[in-house]
Structure 1
Amino acid sequence: MTDDDITGRDGVLDRPRTYVFDGATSRRGYPLNTMLMTLRSPAAREEFTADEGGYCDRFGLEPGQRRAVLDRDWTAMLELGGSIFYVYKLAMMDGVSMQGLGGVFTGLGEAEFTAQLRSGGRSDG
């Protein structure tokens, strides 16, 4: 597979349900990712759990980012600049595995996504 196989004429990645985390995405997602990164700390997790909306407000999230966090809209978090590595910190708090997120992002359930991984991954054909 060449780069031409996966990008359109404008050079943008042309893969359904694939999120490119580039410089622009990183800048947009900075407040969201900063907030999510704090969830490494047990004290921060306690504060977040006590007042999720207030905790989000401390980091200046865009309204859509705030809503995505509160609604646990994993896909929207990526679309709004979230890095999967930081989004996963929140998912772990909710008991959502990486395979569970993979199922959400691919439109499969966790079990089906895991089975697909075990059988060698998805076929693009």
Structure 2
Amino acid sequence: MTAGDIHAHMAELDDIPGTLIFTATRARQGYHLNQFAMTLMKAENRDRFRSDERAYLDEWPMTEAQKQAVLDRDFNTCLSLGGNIYFLAKLISTDGKSVAQGVSTMTDMSFEDYTAMMVAGGRSPEGLRSIREKR
């Protein structure tokens, strides 16, 4: 695969509705956001974060949009700004929630409806499959 081919291939990933692929570009964009989230693995960091979230975030060279997304617990925006759900799970856990509870906030469903959908096998493969082709 040539460089041109790989860029065309990567652009195709943006055509998947409701899905953000964690690419190298997103990894670079979200590096500090994800590193912040990983610090929440230590109890003393979770305590510091909980005591003054803004001050803790200001220790990191994240963009203002990334910091605001964390403060708002807007995980969809965090993902669009380079966050990785596996790292952001540390933030969800810091809030005392299960990953399923946190991920359910990324849908337009209640936690109960989200859980029922997942137990039933997940989202239907029917429906919008291509943004560009509207099919």
TM range (shorter): 0.7 to 0.9
User: Residue 124 of structure 2 aligns to which amino acid in structure 1?
Assistant: S
The amino acid of 1:102's aligned partner reads V
Alignment of 1:11-50 (within 5 A): 11-50=12-51
Q: Distance in 2 between matches of 1:22 and 1:65?
A: 17
User: Which amino acid is 1:51 matched to?
Assistant: D
Unaligned runs of 5+ in 1: 1-7
- Calculate percent identity across the aligned residue pairs: 36
The residue number in structure 2 matching 1:79 is: 80
**Would you say how many aligned residue pairs link Structure 1 and Structure 2?**
118
Structure 1 residue 15 displacement after superposition: 2.4
Cross-structure match for 1:54: 55
Is residue 102 from structure 1 mapped to residue 109 from structure 2 by the alignment?
Answer: no
Q: Which has the higher contact order (CA 8 A, sep 6+)?
A: 2
Q: CA deviation at 1:104?
A: 2.2
1:88 is displaced (CA, Å) by: 1.1
Q: Which runs of 5+ in 2 are unaligned?
A: 1-8, 127-135
Runs of 4+ in 1 over 6 A off after TM superposition: none
Query: 1:37, CA displacement in angstroms?
Result: 0.4
Amino acid of the structure 2 residue aligned with 1:54: A
Deviation by residue 1:92-121 (Cα, 9 ceiling, x = unmatched): 121332222332223222111111111111
Q: Deviations over 1:54-76 (max 9, x none)?
A: 11111111000011111111111
Q: Distance in 2 between matches of 1:45 and 1:35?
A: 11
> 1:13, 1:20 within 8 Å by CA — same for their partners in 2?
yes
Partners of 1:96 and 1:79 in 2: how far apart? Answer: 22
| Paired residue type of 2:18 | R
Structure 1 contact 17–105 (Cα < 8 Å) conserved: no
Separation in 2, partners of 1:15, 1:102: 19
In 1, distance between residues paired with 2:103 and 2:16?
A: 15
Give the deviation of 1:13 after TM superposition: 3.7
Which has the larger Rg?
A: 2
Please report the RMSD computed on the Cα atoms of aligned residues, expressed in angstroms.
1.8
- TM-score if structure 1 supplies the norm length? 0.85
TM-score by length of 2: 0.80
